[in-house]
């Protein structure tokens, strides 16, 4: 039952994301540094033994948490 809820939630978020546009912003860091920070976060997450099982979804979530820790926020744009 829990897996069904997670799947339904993930599907809902994907559908919402398809309908809107968002960008990462950081008031203390220029937008030009986004790629550097994102790549560093992603590299760190792929080194984590818990995330080396090949599930891209978990790596993506961990990368986004890393970006949030660095001060980046996902902001909806219209």
Q: Estimate to the nearest angstrom the gap between the alpha carbon of 60 and the chain centroid.
A: 5
* 50 within a domain of the structure (yes/no): yes
Q: Judge whether 13 lies within some domain.
A: no
Measure CA 31 to chain center. 16
Whether 9 maps to a domain, the answer reads no
Question: 24-56, pLDDT tens digit by residue?
Answer: 899 888 888 999 999 999 888 888 877 777 678
6 part of a folded domain: no
Residue 16 lies in a domain: no
Threshold 0.75, pTM exceeds: no
Which has more pLDDT, 53 or 66? 66
Q: How many domains does the chain have?
A: 1
| Closest C-alpha to 71, from 20, 30, 39 | 30
CA distances from 49 to 3, 18, 66 (A): 23, 31, 16
| Owning domain of residue 41 | 22-77
On whether residue 66 sits in a domain, the answer given is yes
d(CA 70, CA 41): 9
């Amino acid at each position: 039952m829990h897996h069904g809820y997670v799947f339904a939630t993930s599907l809902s978020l994907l559908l919402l994301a398809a309908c809107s546009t968002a960008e990462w912003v950081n008031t203390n860091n220029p937008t030009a540094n986004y790629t550097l920070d994102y790549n560093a976060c992603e590299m760190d997450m792929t080194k984590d033994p818990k995330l080396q099982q090949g599930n891209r979804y978990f790596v993506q979530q961990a990368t986004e948490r890393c970006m949030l820790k660095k001060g980046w926020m996902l902001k909806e744009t219209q």
